[in-house]
Structure 1
Amino acid sequence: MPRPVWSGAISFGLVTIPIKVLPATENHSIRFHQYHLEDMARVRTKKMCEIEDREVSNAEIGKGYEVSKDTIVEITDQELAALPLPTAKAIEISAFVPYESIDPIRIGEGYYLQGDGQVAAKPYVLLRKALERSSKAAVAKFAWHGRERLGLLRVQDDVILLHAMKWDDEVRSPESLAPRQVDLDDSEIDEAVHLIESMATDSIAGQEWATDRYTAALEDLIAAKAEGKEPPEAPAEEASGGKLVDLMSALEQSVRKAEAARGGSGEDATVHDLPKKRGAKKAAAKKTTAKRATAKRATAKKATTKKTSAARKTTAKKRGA
């Protein structure tokens, strides 16, 4: 379980629930360093003082706001923590609304809320059950990272989740983006609905298309270059069979393709394996990190036979996982 990112309380009415906030998602993207192409040396960012013309440490760096060109106001962490906001130490619930009434474009990062100690157990379960029974979500305000934010509390698998939300003025209007009015036949709309039904599924979980193919391909690329091999080639694209005549033709062909992929009528949909456990992803990430350490040496000169053999074993284990 990850470390808490914030500790405080949930407040609604006169009820207070001590909680810890934990990230609900993970990022498995592969990260790169910057290198000088000529000699493959690391390129690093230095924090320099403009007046003294020297690098400064994090301990010497503070926050400041530029009021004017010649005036900067220093703001300390202690002053930020002491701001007179009720939401500085509490997630303050303002109202309860139907979850379906929230525009998804306003919903951001998700966090798990964990009761902090035995004193939190009863009011935590009380709020969770009340949200479930009422079929409502709670709209709240909280202050993190130098700003007050809007939040949404909902229930999933007996745990209360907090989603950061956008304020009204942070969502741009889409009015100018809508296409001009076009003529559509009912038959075209019906065929589009047919296509949607043929591609419908009850859940994203376990679907073979709900996987990160980019990261897997990137891992293969890194492994190949670490062994001094040529990068894998992209598979040849299937022939399109010529240009589609019109929109209706495109819809009809799409429906036939979707139904064929799901077993004819769609009633006998393909059953997919469940997604790999997080532990497997973490193990793959560790293997990728180990390969990064050899990538620099592989670019400068060929690896020895012993190192190449070890890298091949590592790659074989990763692909077999």
Structure 2
Amino acid sequence: MHTMWKGTISFGLVNIPVKMHAATENKDIQLRQLHKECQSPIKYERTCPVCERPVKNEEIVKAYEYAKNKFVVLDEEELEALKQEQADKAVEIVDFVQLAEVDPIYYEKSYFLSPNEGGAKAYGLLRKALKETEKIGIAKMMIRSKEQLAIIRVYQDTLVVETIHYPDEVRSVADVPNVPKEVEANSQELDTAKMLIEQLTTAFDPTKYKDEYRHALLDLIEQKKEQDQTATALDKPSPDAATNLMDALQASLERAKQDKPKPKQPQLSKQKEKKVKKKKTGT
């Protein structure tokens, strides 16, 4: 399992060197966008709307927009210094609480923790203490340039970090529109609803549930592959040497035609000029 973070978790005077691994994975099916005409993948370029040209990575800086089209530009060195300052801190458990006290709305992402070298005993100590007290730890940690609030708990004999949202990241329920304060329901309707809930109540078994849409989409993709309903992107045509030579010759010929001086009209003698004028005037 890939290690995505190494650090130390501490509570009191106990320090636990640990490694962190992603506990979940996104299995959404990623669909590419193709040009319908030639089946080639569509490319997206970062462009500047003012300069009207593509922008290279080294030309891009980060900034915070504090008002419409007003920015505070932040140097990479400044951001790196802030990140390093926080990353150097150990993950410290600041409080222990009951798991039921943390509403699931705060949950964000799960990570497995494994002990690093020399940390097995302290790891086992924390795991056993959390199990027997039925508590979870509240901690702060730095993940991918963001300071995260997290809980540390036991899951199937393994310590797990659950990153959770800060309170100001959870929107107020007062902002949700059209929520009724109280709904009148007669006793018969309420009893029927309770009975239905009881009939559908069972032990939670996550293996019962699956992503029906994802499986159906995978089946459709496999079916199209078996029926050879596939597309191959065309290679971008690159002109060969002969084509380049022909283009160069054609361009040279066109330029030569434009640059070639026009032939001068032969000058007539004075006697011939008089004869031409008499013919034109009829005299």
TM-score, L = length of structure 1: 0.63
Structure possessing the higher radius of gyration over alpha carbons: 2
* Residue 295 (structure 1) aligned to one of 221, 225, 230: 230
Alignment of 1:51-62 (within 5 A): 53-54=53-54, 56=56, 60=58
Instruction: Name the SS of the counterpart of 1:296 in structure 2.
Output: coil
Instruction: Name the SS of the counterpart of 1:127 in structure 2.
Output: helix
Deviations 1:170-193 (A, max 9, x none): 111213553142211222222212
Quote the offset at 1:78 in angstroms: 4.1
Alignment of 1:271-286 (within 5 A): none
Matching residue of 1:248: none
Quote the offset at 1:51 in angstroms: 5.7
Q: Which amino acid aligns with 1:64?
A: K
Matching residue of 2:95: 95
Describe the shift of the 1:65–1:184 C-alpha distance in structure 2 as closer, same or farther (beyond 3 A). Answer: same
Higher mean alpha-carbon deviation, 129-138 vs 217-226, is at 217-226
Paired residues of 2:107 and 2:164 also in contact (CA < 8 A): yes
Paired residues of 1:62 and 1:74 also in contact (CA < 8 A): no
Task: Confirm whether residue 65 of structure 1 aligns to residue 63 of structure 2.
Answer: yes
TM-score, L = length of structure 2: 0.71
Distance 1:144 1:63 in 2: 22
Task: Confirm whether residue 179 of structure 1 aligns to residue 180 of structure 2.
Answer: yes
Alignment of 1:76-225 (within 5 A): 76=77, 78-83=80-85, 85=86, 88-117=88-117, 119-175=118-174, 176-177=176-177, 178-207=179-208, 210-225=209-224
Q: Which amino acid aligns with 1:79?
A: A
Instruction: Name the SS of the counterpart of 1:225 in structure 2.
Output: helix
Instruction: Name the SS of the counterpart of 2:206 in structure 1.
Output: coil
Paired residues of 2:19 and 2:116 also in contact (CA < 8 A): yes
Quote the offset at 1:204 in angstroms: 2.3
Distance 1:147 1:71 in 2: 19
Paired residues of 1:222 and 1:295 also in contact (CA < 8 A): no
Matching residue of 1:35: 34
Describe the shift of the 1:9–1:63 C-alpha distance in structure 2 as closer, same or farther (beyond 3 A). Answer: farther
Quick one: percent identity of the two aligned structures?
35
Paired residues of 2:61 and 2:73 also in contact (CA < 8 A): no
Distance 1:63 1:89 in 2: 27
Paired residues of 1:19 and 1:116 also in contact (CA < 8 A): yes
Distance 1:73 1:206 in 2: 47
Gaps of 5+ in 1: 230-293, 299-321
Paired residues of 1:88 and 1:142 also in contact (CA < 8 A): no
Describe the shift of the 1:70–1:201 C-alpha distance in structure 2 as closer, same or farther (beyond 3 A). Answer: closer
Distance 2:120 2:10 in 1: 14
Deviations 1:116-167 (A, max 9, x none): 11x1011111111111111101111112222211101110111110001111
Paired residues of 2:83 and 2:145 also in contact (CA < 8 A): no
Matching residue of 1:10: 9
Instruction: Name the SS of the counterpart of 1:22 in structure 2.
Output: strand
Distance 2:134 2:144 in 1: 31
Describe the shift of the 1:53–1:62 C-alpha distance in structure 2 as closer, same or farther (beyond 3 A). Answer: closer
Q: Which amino acid aligns with 1:102?
A: V
CA-based RMSD of the aligned residues comes to 2.6
Paired residues of 1:88 and 1:144 also in contact (CA < 8 A): no
Matching residue of 2:239: none
Describe the shift of the 1:211–1:66 C-alpha distance in structure 2 as closer, same or farther (beyond 3 A). Answer: closer
Distance 2:3 2:60 in 1: 24
Distance 1:61 1:143 in 2: 28
Q: State how many pairs are aligned.
A: 226
Distance 1:24 1:112 in 2: 5
Distance 1:54 1:228 in 2: 41
Quote the offset at 1:61 in angstroms: 6.5
